Amino acid sequence: MQPGLTMVVGPPGTGKTDVAVQIISNIYHNFPNQRMLVVTHSNQALNQLFEKIMALDVDERHLLRLGHGEEALETEKDFSRYGRVNYVLAQRLELLQEVNRLQISLGETGDMSYTCETAGYFYIYQILSRWEEYHSKLKPYLGQDEHVKQIQSLFPFNNFFANAPQPLFRGKTFAEDMDIAEGCFTHIKKIFTQLEEFRAFELLRSGSDRANYLLIKEAKIIAMTCTHAALKRRDLVTVGFQFDNILMEESAQILEIETFIPLLLQNPKDGNNRLKRWIMIGDHHQLPPVIKNMAFQKFSNMEQSLFTRLVRLGIPTVDLDAQGRARSSLAQLYNWRYKKLGSLPHVLIRPEFRLANAGFMHEFQLIDVGDFNGMGESEPNPYFYQNLAEAEYVVAVFMYMRMIGYPGEQISILTTYNGQKHLIRDVIQQRCGNNPLIGRPHKVTTVDRYQGQQNNFILLSLVRTRAVGHLRDVRRLIVAMSRARLGLYIFARSSLFSNCFELTPAFNILTSRPQVLHLLPNENYPCTRKLQDPPSESPIVISDMPQMAQFVYDFYNARVDDLMRHRGFVKANRLQAPPKRDKKEEES
């Protein structure tokens, strides 16, 4: 990595998080004395990043996660400040036990493993002297393969490595066995190097002093959200926090002022700033920072991030141009927004991308949802938009998917409004939430909240029937279309959204397919039919929500009866009756 500013633009699915993790790994291994500050907009993004960092060859004692949200990390280990202090103290005891074993193997008396200090003296006066003596004895035989046995016979730590895979020395060539001896000594040296680093924890007695020492001296990769950086800036500067490199993920979602605050978490020394590298990773074509004050948003242009400003000003960027998340056909719904976004080879090769979605004629589809009992969108409170027809339709499709074998954790339901999110959750609770045969989807949330996440199958409700609303912002459309890997089913008023100029590129592709749902209920997940192959049966065409609700009700009852008849199920939950049209609507 070159010093200075580096900007990485990554469209959806191009591996921004993986690139960030690799950058962190490269700097950690190539510049072991430098410290890296990692900043993200959300706790969820920070946890995703941190979990991938932990999978790399990074020593645990050099990792530190500050702020709330650490408890959501999917790991048994505690990477908070006090969790890392406890880890260091436990590691210190383990290393001192190794020193004790080394002392016994050498036949030395005394208690050299009592503290890190005594272990340090033991290393200087006993270990180093023996190693230097060993080297001097081997000097006459250097490079002479016929004297290779001397390496093992003179090696002073044979007893210590008795529990290592044997034989320790192969006795083939002098150079090979000498490398093994050097490797063994490096292992011993690493024990004492770590104990020297842990020595301060013996001198500092309070938990807060130990935590501060860990923060300013021991940790090499420190992660936090920009909110935590703003809240704790004074405390961090006071304790003398320093770093050499800063990496910002989700840069396009971070306010300009929030971008600058992490840069000010250290005081300059002698008028010089210690910062060497500033890496920003993001996508200015996705959602900007959230500004709730409309005056600030519109008149002060505060929703423009520094990342977006720099891209607009022509600062050179590194562009990621191959996505590996979605089928190529799904990627067409959003890749028009980027100059040259292609797909990685595995998207064309892997079986899950080549097979069709079980039970569906198409891998993506726009399903036109009309009014239900004369009502489309509703607004029980200002800006709290809901659409009962779409909510019932989405939940019915989710129930259908579960009945033909789709795992619930592979299905997420998204919507563009909070009101609809709450309505869908209510419908799920009413229809299937407590039914063990169906259960709940992985997530029901808004498009804005789901940025940075993905799932195999996405059911998307666009809610509005009178005006396009805030989906007119193309950045929100890009996020909505790019969350699915294998299947995307959009429920919307087709005539409204397809006539919106800003959304034309995506909706031209969507409206080229039938806008009524085509189902293949005899297929079960996982599907064996290839994506381009025609189905073995004619699809069932679902024209509207009441028909779908009735179909799911009948389909479920038939499945339950079959289970009770052939598989010995004694009892199964029955579904509530599906929503019905008003008599007036049926007559019309």
In a domain, 492, yes or no: yes
Task: Return the pLDDT at 585.
Answer: 56
Q: Looking at the predicted structure, is the pLDDT value of residue 270 above 90? A: no
Average pLDDT over residues 392-403: 95
3-state secondary structure 37-71: EEEECCHHHHHHHHHHHHCCCCCHHHEEECCCCHH
Tokens representing residue 316 in the block: 């050179």
How far, in Å, CA of 521 to CA of 507, rounded?
Answer: 27
Closest CA to 393 of 492, 303, 473: 492
CATH number at residue 314: 3.40.50.300
Do 344 and 451 lie in one domain? The reply is yes
546 preceded by cis ω (within 30°)? no
In a domain, 249, yes or no: yes
Q: Tell me which amino acid residue 570 is.
A: V
Average pLDDT over residues 225-243: 91
What average pLDDT is seen over the chain?
89
In a domain, 410, yes or no: yes
In a domain, 95, yes or no: no
Closest CA to 400 of 356, 446, 434, 431: 431
How far, in Å, CA of 233 to CA of 241, rounded?
Answer: 10
Residue appearing with tokens 């993905």: 454
Do 463 and 542 lie in one domain? The reply is yes
Burial profile 247-273: b = 16 or more Cβ within 10 angstroms, e = fewer: bbbbbbbbbbebbebbbebbeeeeeee
In a domain, 243, yes or no: yes
Where does a domain end: 277, 298, 320?
Answer: 320
Q: Minimum mean pLDDT among 54-63, 488-497, 520-529: which range? A: 54-63
Average pLDDT over residues 413-419: 96
Q: Looking at the predicted structure, is the pLDDT value of residue 79 above 60? A: yes
107, 91 in Cβ contact below 8 A? no
Q: Looking at the predicted structure, is the pLDDT value of residue 74 above 60? A: no
Q: Looking at the predicted structure, is the pLDDT value of residue 57 above 90? A: no
Task: Return the pLDDT at 69.
Answer: 65
CA-to-CA separations, 254 to 19, 150, 203, 417, in angstroms, rounded: 19, 63, 40, 22
Give residue 51's domain range: 4-83+219-320
3 preceded by cis ω (within 30°)? no
pTM attached to this predicted model: 0.84
Side-chain half-sphere CA neighbours of 294 within 13 A: 0
Task: Return the pLDDT at 587.
Answer: 54
493, 465 in Cβ contact below 8 A? yes
How far, in Å, CA of 408 to CA of 266, rounded?
Answer: 46
Task: Return the pLDDT at 108.
Answer: 87
Q: Looking at the predicted structure, is the pLDDT value of residue 87 above 80? A: yes
How far, in Å, CA of 67 to CA of 80, rounded?
Answer: 8
Where does a domain end: 267, 292, 320?
Answer: 320
Task: Return the pLDDT at 506.
Answer: 95
Do 72 and 129 lie in one domain? The reply is no
Task: Return the pLDDT at 8.
Answer: 96
Average pLDDT over residues 436-444: 92
Do 359 and 257 lie in one domain? The reply is no
Do 461 and 313 lie in one domain? The reply is no
Q: Minimum mean pLDDT among 61-70, 244-253, 386-395, 455-464: which range? A: 61-70
How does DSSP classify residue 174? H
In degrees rounded to 5, what are phi and psi of residue 367?
Answer: -105, 115
Q: Minimum mean pLDDT among 21-35, 170-184, 373-387: which range? A: 170-184
Do 430 and 513 lie in one domain? The reply is yes
Residue appearing with tokens 């002022």: 257
Task: Return the pLDDT at 323.
Answer: 94
Which element (helix H / strand E) includes 244?
A: none
> 165-169, 225-229, 297-301, 565-569 — which one is most confidently predicted on average?
225-229
In degrees rounded to 5, what are phi and psi of residue 574?
Answer: -95, 150
Q: Looking at the predicted structure, is the pLDDT value of residue 75 above 70? A: no
Closest CA to 421 of 446, 455, 439, 392: 446
Q: How confident is the model at residue 47 (pLDDT cuts 50, 70, 90)?
A: confident
Q: How many CB atoms lie within 10 A of CB 176?
A: 14
How far, in Å, CA of 500 to CA of 215, rounded?
Answer: 52
Compute the Cα dihedral for 446, 447, 453, 454 and give only its sign.
positive
Non-local CB neighbours of 569 within 8 Å, separated by 6+ positions: 560, 563
What percent of the chain stands above pLDDT 70? Answer: 96
Do 504 and 362 lie in one domain? The reply is yes
In a domain, 237, yes or no: yes
Tokens representing residue 291 in the block: 């500004």
How far, in Å, CA of 464 to CA of 471, rounded?
Answer: 9
Do 303 and 334 lie in one domain? The reply is no
3-state secondary structure 360-403: ECCCEEEEECCCECCECCEEEECCEEECHHHHHHHHHHHHHHHH
Do 403 and 271 lie in one domain? The reply is no
Number of structural domains found in the chain: 3
Q: What does 483-505 look like in DSSP terms, one character per residue?
A: SEEEEEEEEE-HHHHHT-GGGHH
In a domain, 154, yes or no: yes
* Residue 386 β-bridge partners: 378
Do 356 and 460 lie in one domain? The reply is yes
Do 437 and 552 lie in one domain? The reply is yes
Average pLDDT over residues 292-319: 90
Do 297 and 193 lie in one domain? The reply is no
Burial profile 463-495: b = 16 or more Cβ within 10 angstroms, e = fewer: bbbeebbebeebbbbbbbbbbbbbbbbbbbbbe
Average pLDDT over residues 362-378: 93
In a domain, 214, yes or no: no
Where does a domain end: 145, 168, 198?
Answer: 198
How far, in Å, CA of 274 to CA of 237, rounded?
Answer: 13
